[in-house]
Amino acid sequence: MAENGAKRIRLGMVGGGTGAFIGYVHRIAARLDGDYDLVAGALSSRPEVAKESGKNLGLAEDRIYTSYEEMAKAEAARPDGIEAVSIVTPNHMHFGPTKAFLEAGIHVICDKPITSTLEDARKLLEIQPKNGAKFLLTHNYTGYPLIRQARELVASGALGTLRVVQAEYAQDWLTEAVEQSGTAKGAEWRTDPARSGAGGAIGDIGTHAYNLLRFVTGLKTEAVSADLTAFVPGRQLDDNVHIMLRFQGGAKGMLWASQVAVGKENGLQLRIYGDKGGLEWSQENPNYMWFTEFGKPRQLLTRGGSISVPPAASMNVRIPSGHPEGYLEAFATLYSQFASVIRGEGGDAEGLLPTIADGIEGMQFITASVQSSKNDSKWTRFSDV
């Protein structure tokens, strides 16, 4: 049983075999609140790795698959088949499994970005899920309590009319050509256009920064002016991104994403400024957020602190104030709330969870930015892609 006494949801996984970081993270997230039981998997495109990974996770031999097609067909036919599946493969392998499982009536939890091309992302809207199967895109940073409080503060008018939004996501793990070492599989596929798509750093982490600013502000993007660069010699996809954004209503934005920023580990930050106030938040210290009303001293808001916390944030505060809560818990929040949606108990939570529409917009962001960069940073409207 789950922590809340509900029956656990039977879960499968596509990708995420032995040594895969993001698969491990998804499995922890699924376990944290006890909402899911992992009972089946097609954990690798390599049969021997798929079988060994399944055994390591304790899966029954007849539920260790070597292809997602076989898994979708077999599990849909079982009376005890999986009810949901996590897709944690490289980007180019998101569309096929998503389509197969939704059409089999199995709920889908998919890592971001939603697909490797905008065309495939839009095709997902044409799918008619069997038995009302649902879809979740794991933009996990939207699960942080203070990010949800920031969203509520913006919506309440506490910042007034928004003017400036700045988002950045900086890392340094691709400062050298590690993809050429033969030992960094995560780097290999992320820098390969055939598997990652047209975007490198912009698809891997830039989409997180973009999704976060959209989630918190609610601003609609009109156009982007982008400069995408591959600094490492021989690298096929961008490893550094500078983008200006224009929003409906006149607000302006800037986004920086880099995987060659030496000294940066996981520097996701968001700054929002309106005519009445401003907010500043950093993922590496996610339990604190600065809020300033114009003409007044800055206030340090804490997760679960004494300042009034809106319902959307308070329902995700897991532990008392002063006890750090972060990355894994945010992932788990999405999994837990999606479990409520699957059980028909979604309530207000469903409106907070990233959807296919969010995934399509993320691909519009990548596509427009790549197009802009190829045209000497010419302003490119979303409506033109």
| pLDDT tens, residue by residue, 42-77 | 999 999 999 999 999 999 999 999 999 999 999 999
Helix, coil or strand: residue 180: helix
| pLDDT tens, residue by residue, 335-364 | 999 999 999 986 667 789 999 999 999 999
Q: Look over the chain and give the mean of its residue pLDDT values, rounded to a whole number.
A: 94
pLDDT of residue 309: 46
pLDDT of residue 308: 47
pTM: predicted TM-score of the whole model, two decimal places: 0.94
Angle at 230 between CA 226 and CA 232, to 5 degrees: 160
Nearest alpha carbon to residue 224 among 257, 258, 253 = 253
| pLDDT tens, residue by residue, 238-287 | 999 999 999 999 999 999 999 999 999 999 999 999 999 999 999 999 99
Contact in structure between 15 and 88 (CB atoms under 8 Å): yes
Would you kindly state where each structural domain of the chain is located, as residue ranges? 9-133, 142-320+355-374
pLDDT at 137 over 70: yes
Range scoring the smallest mean pLDDT among 17-21, 139-143, 256-260 = 17-21
E strand intervals along 50-131 = 84-88, 107-110
> At residue 121, what are phi and psi to the nearest 5 degrees?
-60, -45
At a CB cut-off of 8 Å and minimum separation 6, what does 260 contact?
Answer: 172, 174, 175, 231, 232, 239, 240
| pLDDT tens, residue by residue, 289-315 | 999 999 999 999 998 764 544 554 545
CB atoms closer than 10 angstroms to residue 234: 9
Q: In the structure encoding, which two tokens stand for residue 196, read together?
A: 């990652």
Same CATH topology for 9-133 and 142-320+355-374?
Answer: no
Above pLDDT 70, what percent of the chain? 96
Q: In the structure encoding, which two tokens stand for residue 189, read together?
A: 């596929």
CA–CA distance, 95 with 254 (Å, rounded to integer): 30
Angle at 356 between CA 338 and CA 65, to 5 degrees: 70
Structural class in CATH, domain 9-133: alpha beta
| pLDDT tens, residue by residue, 179-206 | 999 888 899 999 999 999 999 999 999 9
CATH of domain 142-320+355-374: 3.30.360.10
Long-range contacts made by residues 41-46, C-beta under 8 angstroms, separation at least 24? Answer: 41/12, 41/13, 41/14, 41/16, 41/65, 41/71, 42/12, 42/13, 42/14, 42/15, 42/66, 42/67, 42/68, 42/70, 42/71, 43/13, 43/14, 43/15, 43/16, 43/17, 43/18, 44/15, 44/17, 45/93
pLDDT of residue 5: 79
